[in-house]
Amino acid sequence: MAQPIQLYNTLTRQVSPFEPIQPGKVGMYVCGPTVYDRAHVGHARSMVVFDAFSRYLRHRGWQVDYVRNYTDVDDKIIARANERGEEPVALAERFIDAFRQDAEALGLAVPDHEPRVSENIPEILALVQSLVDQGKAYPGSDGTVWYSVASFPAYGKLSGQRVDELRGDLVEGDKRASADFALWKAAKPGEPSWDSPWGPGRPGWHIECSAMSIKHLGETFDIHGGGLDLVFPHHENEIAQSEGATGKAYARWWMHNGLLTMKSGEKMGKSLGNVFDIQDALALYPAEAMRLYYLQAHYRSPLPWGDEALPEALAMLARLYEAIEVAEQMGGDEPAAKVAQDLGKEALTVLELGDRVKDRIYESLDDDFNTSKALSHAFELARAINRFSNHKKAKKRGGPVVATAIAGLRLLGPTLGLLQGSPSDFQDEVKAKRLPSLGLTVEAVEQLLQERVDAREARDWSRADAIRQEIEAKGVLVMDRPDGVEWRIRLS
Which of 280, 342, 441, 461 touches RNA (CB under 7 A)?
A: 461
AA letter at 86: E
Nearer to RNA, 270 or 410 (CB): 270
Contact 39, 278 (CB under 8 A): yes
Which of 31, 67, 108, 245 touches RNA (CB under 7 A)?
A: 31
Nearer to RNA, 12 or 22 (CB): 12
Helices and strands (H, E) in the chain, number of each type: 18, 14
Rounded CA separation 309/293 (Å): 7
Q: Contacts with RNA in 38-97 (CB under 7 A)?
A: 42-43, 45-46, 75-76
Q: Contacts with RNA in 189-208 (CB under 7 A)?
A: 205
Q: Contacts with RNA in 351-380 (CB under 7 A)?
A: 367-368, 370, 372-373, 375-376, 379-380
Rounded CA separation 221/432 (Å): 44
Q: Contacts with RNA in 217-236 (CB under 7 A)?
A: 226-234
Smallest separation (angstroms) from RNA to the CB of 294 = 9
Residue of 5, 2, 45, 121 whose CA lies nearest to 299: 45
Torsion of CA 391, 393, 395, 400, to 10 degrees: -100
Q: Contacts with RNA in 257-286 (CB under 7 A)?
A: 257, 259-261, 264-271
SS3 447: helix
Which of 24, 160, 331, 436 touches RNA (CB under 7 A)?
A: 160
Q: Are strands 221-227 and 201-203 parallel, antiparallel or unpaired?
A: unpaired
Longest distance between any two alpha carbons in the chain, whole Å: 91
* Distance (Å) of CA 141 to CA 31, 172, 343, 443: 31, 12, 84, 71
Smallest separation (angstroms) from RNA to the CB of 229 = 4
Q: Contacts with RNA in 399-438 (CB under 7 A)?
A: none
Which of 34, 69, 144, 213 touches RNA (CB under 7 A)?
A: 34
- Number of residues this chain uses to bind RNA (CB under 7 A): 85
Within its chain, how far is the Cα of 78 from the centroid?
A: 27
Nearer to RNA, 110 or 477 (CB): 477
Q: What is the DSSP letter of 200?
A: S
Q: What are phi and psi of 282, to 5 degrees?
A: -75, -15
Which of 83, 167, 189, 273 touches RNA (CB under 7 A)?
A: 167
Q: Contacts with RNA in 287-306 (CB under 7 A)?
A: 296-298, 301-304
Nearer to RNA, 63 or 370 (CB): 370
Nearer to RNA, 21 or 358 (CB): 358
Smallest separation (angstroms) from RNA to the CB of 33 = 5
Nearer to RNA, 141 or 492 (CB): 492
Nearer to RNA, 195 or 480 (CB): 480
Q: Contacts with RNA in 1-20 (CB under 7 A)?
A: 13
Q: What are phi and psi of 392, to 5 degrees?
A: -60, -35
23 touches RNA by CB under 7 A: no
Smallest separation (angstroms) from RNA to the CB of 24 = 26
Nearer to RNA, 219 or 312 (CB): 312
Q: What share of the chain is helix, strand, coil (3-state, %, to 5)?
A: 50, 15, 35
Smallest separation (angstroms) from RNA to the CB of 87 = 20
Which of 358, 410, 433, 456 touches RNA (CB under 7 A)?
A: 456
* Distance (Å) of CA 201 to CA 116, 187, 447: 17, 4, 65
Smallest separation (angstroms) from RNA to the CB of 351 = 16
Smallest separation (angstroms) from RNA to the CB of 200 = 21
Contact 292, 418 (CB under 8 A): yes
Rounded CA separation 450/20 (Å): 61
Task: List 478's β-bridge partners, or say none.
Answer: 487
489 touches RNA by CB under 7 A: no
Task: List 226's β-bridge partners, or say none.
Answer: 256
How many residues in total does the chain contain?
A: 492
Smallest separation (angstroms) from RNA to the CB of 465 = 4
Contact string 240-259 vs RNA (x = CB under 7 A): -----------------x-x
